[in-house]
Amino acid sequence: MASKRNQRRWRTGPTSAVSRRRRAVTAHRARRVLALLLIGIAAGIVLLSLLQRSDSLSASWLGVAPDSTARPFAKHIGIISGHKGNDSGAVCPDGLTEAAVNLQHALRIADLLRAQGYTVDVLDEFDARLNGYRAAALISIHADSCDNINAQASGFKLSSNAAPQSERLVACLTQAYQQRTGLRFHANTITRDMLNYHAFRKIDPTTPAVIIETGFLYLDRDLLTHQAERVAQGIVTGVRCFVNETP
């Protein structure tokens, strides 16, 4: 009996030891795989953090604050040609109309933006497409009175809706337009109609929108009619600033 028990122990002992070693090796490999997996996850988190920081630094080098919200239509711009399809707007004694000046500017702005890869909609004053309109920005082009008001009736002005980023759009357009045209910001003649501009109530509330009076048709007429390229370039530069393409 003792001999048989010893034989059984001899036969089973080495097998059990081998099984234990195999289990130990398997457990060791599993721990190594888990450790490598955790290291990979940690490295990925660090890399993502560095990339985000790099984007922020790049925006800072350009002198533009990084956007806090993503804009799904980053290169889609709407341009309203003021009074188009509705009325003439201001009318000068020689028959020049504000609507004609606005259209000249709107079409040139659209051409310049399209040449730089933008999608641009040129819209009528009360265009049906304004209902729920979504874009990176909407800009309504207008001009001021053709009357000889006084020596101070020269300059431009803007008003915006309450959408996210609208203040930034105003800041970019104000700086760029002033630099390109040499006109001053004429804040004290912003009208109630500009503050409560009809399109602001129709478009998607997330679309930043601005109405700009590009100048007075009396004292600023030469700029608005014979130097229209400067007007268009000022607005285009402001748009590019807004979408982070220029500082």
Q: Which of 17, 34, 62 is the last residue of a domain?
A: 62
The total number of structural domains in the chain stands at 2
- Let me know: does 124 contact 89? Beta carbons within 8 Å: no
Backbone Cα Rg of the chain: 33
Q: Which residues of 208-237 are buried (b: 16+ CB within 10 A; e: fewer)?
A: bbbbbbbbbbbbbbebbbeebeebbbbbbb
Residues 99 and 162 both lie in one domain: yes
pTM to 2 decimal places: 0.71
In Å, how far are 1, 3, 21, 182, 234 from 8, measured between CA atoms?
11, 9, 20, 104, 97
Domain that holds residue 30: 1-62
Report DSSP state, residue 85. T
Q: Are residues 166 and 218 in the same domain?
A: yes
Task: Give the tens place of pLDDT for each residue, 12-27.
Answer: 455 566 666 677 667 7
Residue 69 lies in a domain: no
* Distance spanning both ends of the chain, measured CA to CA: 95
pLDDT tens track for 73-113 = 789 999 999 999 999 999 999 999 999 999 999 999 999 99
pLDDT at site 244: 83
Task: Give Cα 33 distance to the centre of its chain.
Answer: 44
- CA–CA gap between residue 171 and residue 48 (Å, rounded): 31
Half-sphere exposure of residue 3: CA atoms within 13 angstroms, side-chain side: 0
Provide the pLDDT for residue 145: 93
pLDDT digit string, tens, across residues 157-184: 999 999 999 999 999 999 999 999 999 9
pLDDT reported for residue 231? 98
**Residues 120 and 179 both lie in one domain:** yes
Residues 223 and 126 in one domain: yes
Q: Looking at the structure, tell me whether residues 117 and 230 fall in a common domain.
A: yes
- Whether 165 and 229 share a structural domain: yes
Residues 42 and 130 reside in one and the same domain: no
Coil, strand, or helix at residue 101? helix
The SS3 of residue 160 is strand
Q: pLDDT per residue over 111-123, tens digit each?
A: 999 999 999 999 9
Contact 215, 143 (CB under 8 A): yes
